[in-house]
Amino acid sequence: MIEDTSETVLAKRAVNGIEDIFGTYPGYRRAHAKGELYEATFTPTGKASPYTMAEHLRDTEVQAIVRFSNTSPNPSTADALAVVKGMSVQFQLSEGIITNLVGITLPIFVTKSPQTFLKILNTMKSFKDAKPNFKDMVNLFATYPESRTAFQMIRKLKNTKSYATGRYFAVHAFYLVNENGIRTPVKFEWEPEAGVETWSVKELAALPSDYLEKEMTNRLKLGEVRFRLHIVIGDKVDPTDDPTKEWPKGRNRIDAGMLSVKSKALIDKDRFIFDPTILPTGIECSNDEILPFRRDTYAISYERRKKEG
């Protein structure tokens, strides 16, 4: 049982709010409920070595588990109706150490503060079927201007043809730390080797509800699915505490390595929690308040789904 602290009380309110709006689906994650696990390996290029002590970003090839998902808290939501997709990677380092890198197909998030997230959830409760109409959206932007860019991006976002053709962003800033204690602000992005491919609205209408999982099964019969890990180096002026803001284009990037997704993972019970704050020596959280908030909400969602079986 997770003890009540000021942080976990906020997180419980967030999970309760999601359940109130979207429903409760016993045994499932309270967000990104539909998803599949895959086996993978990650091979670093070594180019990030001057910046970090983390072994998987230096010279050690590691095993990884990858979970692709659609955002909806309802596991029956058709893939086409949850336009933002997720890619969670758990790297298995030496001596049983793990670390997570969690991305979505959007470079930013809707808010930089847990309190505002709760207020947005409250506002959403008044929308019919959690689907805002135009007037609702105008009011929402007026009340929470920090959310405007993310909501506009979501409206314009097209559905990915395949989990293998999405570009995934870890959204928050982190710090890489090297042996001399030098801390470098960074963001992480996964670039699909297959290229970015999206559906038109007309094409999308003809697709089955679970097209993404089926497509991956067929694709993996032909070979591995690969993603290149880019590490974007922040400048002094780039905010590290605000996931609603993109860093300017053109920042230096390191080609840090290649993730090769090989096959579906044969795992009986999915007990994974892709908490983005689980980090090894050499990577640290930034001062972004959403990161510890995510740690707490993921733990509460996990506790509930585990209890349900």
Binding site for ligand HEM (CB under 6 A): 14-15, 29-32, 35, 67, 69, 86, 88, 102-104, 109, 117, 170-171, 243, 272-274, 290, 293-294, 297-298, 301-302, 305
Q: Is the alpha carbon torsion for 20, 21, 25, 27 positive or negative?
A: negative
- Least Å distance, CB 168 to ligand HEM, is 8
Task: Pick the catalytic residue from 32, 56, 172, 230.
Answer: 32
Nearer to ligand HEM, 19 or 50 (CB): 19
Question: 49, 46, 47: which is closest to 177 by C-alpha?
Answer: 49
Taking residue 198's Cβ as centre, other Cβ atoms within 10 Å add up to 16
E strands within 145-252? Answer: 168-169, 174-177, 183-192, 225-233
Helices (H) and strands (E) in the chain, counts: 7, 10
Respond yes or no: is residue 56 known to be catalytic.
no
Would you say 168 is a known binding-site residue?
no
- Least Å distance, CB 160 to ligand HEM, is 14
- Least Å distance, CB 173 to ligand HEM, is 12
Residue pair 75/28 in contact (Cβ under 8 Å)? The answer is: yes
Q: Are strands 98-104 and 85-92 parallel, antiparallel or unpaired?
A: antiparallel
Six-digit token string for 141: 């932007």
Q: DSSP 3-state assignment of 159?
A: coil
CA angle 194, 189, 281 (to 5 degrees): 130
Nearer to ligand HEM, 35 or 192 (CB): 35
Q: Is the alpha carbon torsion for 158, 161, 162, 166 positive or negative?
A: negative
- Least Å distance, CB 24 to ligand HEM, is 12
The DSSP secondary structure of 52-86, one letter per residue, reads: ---GGGTT--EEEEEEEEES-SSTTS-GGG---EE
Residue with tokens 């942080």: 7
Nearer to ligand HEM, 162 or 297 (CB): 297
- Least Å distance, CB 266 to ligand HEM, is 17
Catalytic residues: 32
Binding-site sequence positions for heme: 298
Binding-site sequence positions: 298
